[in-house]
């Protein structure tokens, strides 16, 4: 038996994947952000991205920018600008480097809006069987 504990209210988790086909593991851009907060101040921040380097990688500059900041959309907008400090993506058959940077910055802002305005993420559900799939081609 495997027991997965309920996520604490103080932990916000966002994940968005942009790819041509959702059944493939290869993504154009994948962004995962987890922040813990206490009294509306970010106490821990983790951000990792796929499709922006040879292998998935943490965005250390983004994490540092979010740390100790109030949980407010403006700080996620600032963090989005810092993505280019962490990554210099290459162009390939899936997308151009500029597209990857633009999309990743937009996704960071989107996650900030989801976290700060209590908007339910597109992929959220209490029942995993009925979770909608958000996909770039849909």
Q: Is residue 53 part of a domain?
A: yes
Residue 116 scores a pLDDT above 80: yes
Could you write out the DSSP letters of every residue in 8-59?
Answer: PTTEEEEEEEE-S-TTSS--SEEEEEEEEEETTEEEEEEEEEESSSSS-EE-
Mean pLDDT of the chain: 85
Q: Is residue 4 part of a domain?
A: no
User: 3-class DSSP state for residue 70?
Assistant: strand
Q: Is residue 136 part of a domain?
A: no
Q: Is residue 2 part of a domain?
A: no
Q: Is residue 79 part of a domain?
A: yes
pLDDT value of residue 132: 43
Enter the tokens of residue 82: 């810092």
- 8-16: long-range contacts, CB 8 A cutoff, minimum separation 24: 8/36, 10/36, 10/37, 10/38, 11/35, 11/36, 12/36, 12/37, 12/71, 12/115, 14/110, 14/111, 14/114, 14/115, 14/121, 15/123, 16/107, 16/110, 16/111, 16/134
Contacts of 67 (CB under 8 A, 6+ apart): 42, 43, 44, 45
Q: Is residue 36 part of a domain?
A: yes
Q: Is residue 123 part of a domain?
A: yes
Cα 125 from Cα 110, distance rounded (Å): 18
Q: Is residue 5 part of a domain?
A: no
What is the per-residue pLDDT across 60-115, written as a single tens digit (0 to 9) for each?
Answer: 999 999 999 999 999 999 999 999 999 999 998 888 999 999 999 999 999 999 99
Which residue range forms the structural domain that includes residue 93?
11-130
What is the per-residue pLDDT across 5-46, written as a single tens digit (0 to 9) for each?
Answer: 898 989 999 999 888 776 666 778 999 999 999 999 999 999
Q: Could you tell me the CA-to-CA distances from 131 to 45, 124, 138 in Å, in that order?
A: 25, 6, 15
CATH number assigned to the domain comprising residue 17:
3.30.390.50
The count of structural domains within the chain is: 1
pLDDT value of residue 93: 85
pLDDT value of residue 110: 94
Cα 18 from Cα 105, distance rounded (Å): 13
């Amino acid at each position: 038996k495997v027991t997965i504990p309920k996520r604490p209210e103080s932990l916000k988790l966002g994940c968005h994947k942009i790819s041509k086909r959702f059944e493939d593991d290869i993504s154009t851009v994948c962004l995962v952000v987890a922040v813990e907060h206490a009294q509306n101040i970010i106490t821990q921040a983790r951000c990792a991205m796929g499709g922006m380097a040879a292998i998935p990688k943490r965005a250390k500059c983004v994490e540092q920018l979010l740390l100790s900041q109030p949980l407010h959309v403006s700080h996620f907008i600032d963090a989005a600008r810092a993505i280019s400090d962490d990554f210099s993506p290459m162009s390939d058959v899936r997308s151009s480097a500029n597209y990857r940077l633009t999309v990743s910055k937009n996704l960071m802002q989107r996650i900030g809006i989801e976290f700060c305005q209590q908007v339910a993420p597109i992929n959220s559900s209490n029942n995993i069987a009925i979770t909608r799939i958000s996909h770039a081609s849909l």
